[in-house]
Structures are given as structure tokens and as C-alpha cells.
Amino acid sequence: MVRNGTGTCFAAYLCPFIVSLPMPANARNLSIDVFDYDLPDERIARYPVAERDQAKQLIYQNGEVTTGVFSELPSRLPEGTLLIGNKTRVIHARLFFPLAEGKRPIEIFCLDPLLPVDYAQSLGARSQVQWKVLIGGNRRWKRGALTLPLEIGGHAISLEAVRGERQDNTFAVTFSWTTDGPPVTFAEVLAAAGTIPLPPYLGRSAEAADHDRYQTVFAKTEGSVAAPTAGLHFTPEVMANLAQRGVGWQEVTLHVGAGTFKPVDAATLGGHTMHREYFTVTSAFVERLLAQLESGKPVVSVGTTSLRCLESLFYLGAGFAIGETMIVDGPVEIGQWVADDSRLTAVSPLTAAHGLRDLMATNNLSQLSGYTQLLLTPFATLQFADGLITNFHQPRSTLLLLVAAIVGDDWHKIYDYALANDFRFLSYGDSSLLWR
């Protein structure tokens, strides 16, 4: 939590579950119909291109749209640009527990850890965890535990699932496991028992190749149930060419949740509840970002997830900079509509970055973690990022809203161009480089 010295919730705009902010009509009343377009089924990329960096790339700059190949990215970025990637790694979140012979198995889709709530601690646990999950075939799950036998390193493992409390369409499920060999972590159990959770719009099950291709080459920290797909086009060769070009590279962690696939479920944005995702940044990252802003050279986000993390950090730093005293004693919380607080948006990016550094120094933090529910709309001015590398997103999605936050109404021009020029859409599709 983020609290002030009196023990009350710091800054209502960071704690939406306590105080609901009044919102300007131009954001809350924005119709999602404005962000609809016709996406033919055949334009959805079911599989990636053979070579990661040979995907097409659309370039949008100064209102003009052109076509290139992703491998040419280093030549398109000014020397001194800083790229921000998301180092999250996709976990094998889909588990299938067998029932009696002839019956379909129960699918358990792991979403977020509950006990322990920290991703690293939960994935590193060696006997029992509790996760928030989706259950496919819940009505067929009668009372009692489900058991899944498996093998790790030649040793037998028995994984047990016990269903707990229901909230909306999710459940709390407790997993416990025993082995006849050395202790194993929950991450190892998932890797052995589960499958990669491909996006539902691909309309197919995960195949062997997906275990590599649905991860970025810089994926390190396990926790996501969906890939940060803008990073899927990078290769070691592209990374080396970027370094030779004088382009910097930094990483954040934002664990991508299943909510990233959820369309806006209301007629206007004010009726939509944005999904919540966990992020972590280090003090070294904050120092590097601050130096980049002081240099005046561009910051480019690799993907919407990195951008959401970056912009969330701005509001944290801006909150500290406007004179609030913050004591961080747990994960911070960024509210859905924080971008509509005029007190914060009046703070300059450089001042907010100083505030973010001072926040971490005041609390003696080497890293900062929290949850962001930030919804970026065309009415939100982007603060830390000058550009975005991203794929092409679903109609009526919050990701398309985020694209409009970068390019405004020109998102129509960009998507019309992509459809007219045979670009491939969604997670395994082609890339774009969008400049503000």
C-alpha cells in the first residue's frame, strides 16, 4: 500500500477502491464504437513468420505512413534513443486435470497468485500456493480435490487442486504437490504440467514451436499469461545492431494478465473496469530513465505493456513531486483514471522522474513494485514515452485506445493502411513504429 504519515490512503487517485474520482465527460463518455473496425478473419496471424525479425513494420511519423521490415529498426531510431522492453516471461498457465475415463478434463487457467501474493515467492514455493484462476468445466467439478500425476527429472510428482471461494467468474484454487525426489518449485510444476496459454483469437492449441516463439528473446522473469508481443520480433542480431547504433536498452517487468484480451464491455469508457497488472522496476532503471529525460533524447516503449508501466511511473513520481509525503510499505496501486487528474498532468516529465527517484530514495527502495489499473485514452497526454513499437490490436480494445493516445485520430489512417497493404494482425502479426 501507499500511505501517508497519518495512516490514511495516500492520494485518492492512486486508490480507486476507496475514493472514486469525478471524471471529465470527454473521457468517461467516449463511445467505444469510435474504436471499432472490420478485421477480416484471414488477417489474423495464426502463426509467426519463419524468422522473427523478418516481419513487416509500419512506420508512422509526422503524419506519414510507410512500410519496412523489422530488422531495419536500428536504422530508424536516432542515435541515443532509449528502448524500454518488458522482461516478463510467459508461464505454462493452462492445466488440465483428468476426470473419470471418457469425461473431458477440467481446465484450470492460472491468473494471479493469492498466497503468497508475490509472484517470485509464489512461483518459488515448494509445497503449496493459492492462485486466482478461471475454471473450464466448473460444473463438472464435483466436491473434492483434483489430482494430476506428472514427472520431473525422473521423479513422480502428484499435483492436487482444491477449489475455494468464487469471485465473479474466477475462483481461488489451492495447489499442493508432493514428490518422491528433491523438492520442486511451483514454476517447475507449471512448466512440466501446464501449456502455454495462446490468445483465444488464434483458435488453436499450443504447439511445440510456441514454447519458444511465444516468448521474447529477452524474457527473464516468470509471471505473465500472455506475451508482450511487440517484443517477439527482436532477435540477438537486432539487439546487437541497436547497440552498435548507439541505441540504449532498459527493461521493466509487467506481468501481462488475461484481461489484456478483454474488449471494452460497456458502451462508453466510464462503464468499463480496466484490468489490473503487476509491475516491478529497479532504482537503477529509474536513474537511467531520468538521465535519458535530462538528455532530451527519445524514449521508445517496446509494447503497450512497457508503455503502461512507464506512464504509471510518471503518476507515482508526479504525486511525490506535488508535495505529498509517501511511505511505501507494500505494493503501490495506480488507479484506472489517474491520467485525468490535472494536478498530476501539470507536472513535467523531468520533475516526475526526479519525484520517482526521490520516492524510492526516501523509502530506501532498490526496487518498486505495485499494481496498475491505468487506462490510457486519446485524452491522456503521454508523459515519458516519445514513441511506441507495437503490433496491430483488436477492434474495441483498450490496446487500440492506447494507440490513439500516441497518434490521435490518425489510428484510422494507420489501420486502413495496414489492412490495405497486407499487414498481419494481433499477437503473431506484424509490427509498427509509432512516433508522437
Burial bucket for residue 182 (CB in 10 Å: 0-12, 13-18, 19+): exposed
State yes or no: pLDDT of 410 exceeds 60.
Answer: yes
Between helix 411-420 and helix 398-407 the angle, nearest 10°, is 110
- Mean pLDDT, to the nearest integer, of 337-351? 94
Looking at the structure, tell me whether residues 238 and 296 fall in a common domain. Answer: yes
Q: Which residues of 194-215 are buried (b: 16+ CB within 10 A; e: fewer)?
A: bbbbbbeebeeebeeebeebbb
CA-CA-CA-CA dihedral for 326, 373, 288, 69, to nearest 10: -170
Q: What is the pLDDT of residue 27?
A: 79
Question: pLDDT digit string (tens) for 67-96?
Answer: 999 999 999 999 999 999 999 999 999 999
Question: pLDDT digit string (tens) for 354-397?
Answer: 999 999 999 999 999 999 999 999 998 899 999 999 999 999 99
Q: What is the pLDDT of residue 102?
A: 73
List all residues 6 or more positions away from 429 whose beta carbon is below 8 Å from its beta carbon. 44, 45, 55, 391, 392, 423
Domain contains 199: no
Average pLDDT, the chain: 91
Domain contains 269: yes
CB atoms within 10 A of CB 276: 18
Domain contains 201: no
Looking at the structure, tell me whether residues 168 and 219 fall in a common domain. Answer: no
Looking at the structure, tell me whether residues 269 and 393 fall in a common domain. Answer: yes
Looking at the structure, tell me whether residues 9 and 154 fall in a common domain. Answer: no
Looking at the structure, tell me whether residues 43 and 179 fall in a common domain. Answer: no
Question: pLDDT digit string (tens) for 21-42?
Answer: 333 356 788 999 999 999 999 9
Domain contains 342: yes
Return d(Cα 256, Cα 309) in angstroms, integer: 11
Strand, helix or coil for residue 277: strand
Looking at the structure, tell me whether residues 36 and 141 fall in a common domain. Answer: no
Q: What is the pLDDT of residue 325?
A: 61
State yes or no: pLDDT of 145 exceeds 50.
Answer: yes
Domain contains 80: yes
Looking at the structure, tell me whether residues 76 and 159 fall in a common domain. Answer: no
Domain contains 254: yes
pTM of whole model > 0.75? yes
For residue 4, what pLDDT band results from cuts at 50, 70 and 90?
Answer: very low
Looking at the structure, tell me whether residues 77 and 138 fall in a common domain. Answer: no
Looking at the structure, tell me whether residues 135 and 220 fall in a common domain. Answer: no
Domain of residue 168 covers: 93-194
Q: What is the pLDDT of residue 269?
A: 92
Between helix 304-321 and helix 349-362 the angle, nearest 10°, is 80
List all residues 6 or more positions away from 334 whose beta carbon is below 8 Å from its beta carbon. 14, 312, 315, 316, 370, 371, 372, 373, 374
Return d(Cα 105, Cα 26) in angstroms, integer: 47
Q: What is the pLDDT of residue 8?
A: 28
Cis peptide bond upstream of 199, omega within 30: no
Question: pLDDT digit string (tens) for 251-282?
Answer: 999 999 988 888 888 999 999 999 999 999 99
State yes or no: pLDDT of 285 exceeds 60.
Answer: yes
Domain contains 208: no
Question: pLDDT digit string (tens) for 169-198?
Answer: 999 999 999 999 999 999 999 999 999 999
The percent of residues above 90 in pLDDT, for the chain, comes to 85
Q: What is the pLDDT of residue 310?
A: 98
State yes or no: pLDDT of 133 exceeds 90.
Answer: yes
Which residues share a beta bridge with 434?
60, 388
Looking at the structure, tell me whether residues 65 and 109 fall in a common domain. Answer: no
CB 345 within 8 A of CB 339: yes
Q: What is the pLDDT of residue 329?
A: 84
CB 175 within 8 A of CB 146: no
Domain contains 400: yes
Asked which of 73-77, 125-129, 139-143, 409-413 is least confident by mean pLDDT, the reply is 139-143
Strand, helix or coil for residue 170: strand
Looking at the structure, tell me whether residues 377 and 322 fall in a common domain. Answer: yes
Looking at the structure, tell me whether residues 40 and 167 fall in a common domain. Answer: no
Q: What is the pLDDT of residue 184?
A: 96
State yes or no: pLDDT of 1 exceeds 50.
Answer: no
CATH of the domain at 25: 3.40.1780.10
Return d(Cα 406, Cα 410) in angstroms, integer: 9
In whole angstroms, what separates CA 95 from the centre of its chain? 21
Total domains in the fold of the chain: 2
